Amino acid sequence: MEKLYSIQEVSRKLGIPKDTLRYYDRIGIVSPSREDNRYRRYSKNDLIDLMNIQIMQYADFSLDEIKGKFGFHRMENVDPAYCQEVAAFLDEKNEETRKKIAHLQKVSQLLDAASETLRDFNHERDQQLAEIVREIYRAIRKEKTDIFEEGCNGHQG
């Protein structure tokens, strides 16, 4: 007979609050079996599902995305069209992630330049910082703006 786990055991083992486990059951994302006394009993597969949910949330998937796209692991015969749909969804999510990484790299570059400029303030560092700011602003606006041609707060473009 398969071992079943109480909500308390699952919460402790996986570090998921009991209220979150109840919520997952309520929205149908992980629905454990119930005993006669209505207590939730989680199977090994339920624990695996919960671990996968934690991983997908770590990867920035919403619960709606997880619920809507990742039910295939329980299917006996996996539909190839469904697999293609999920693969396309993962590709889109990966592209979003790459854009976020590029954005965060720019932010990191800006913060590095700003802190270096403030630690050793000189005209050259100030100009380097101004160029990074202009580049980021252009990327945000995706167009050239005339304000940099006029100069901004003493920075000449």
pLDDT computed for residue 71 by the predictor: 64
Burial of 53 (0-12, 13-18, 19+ CB in 10 A): buried
- What is the per-residue pLDDT across 107-122, written as a single tens digit (0 to 9) for each? 998 999 899 888 888 8
Average pLDDT rounded to a whole number, residues 91-106:
92
> Any idea how long the chain is?
157
Is the per-residue pLDDT at 143 higher than 90? Answer: no
Report pTM.
Answer: 0.67
pLDDT computed for residue 146 by the predictor: 54
Q: What percent of the chain has pLDDT over 70?
A: 86
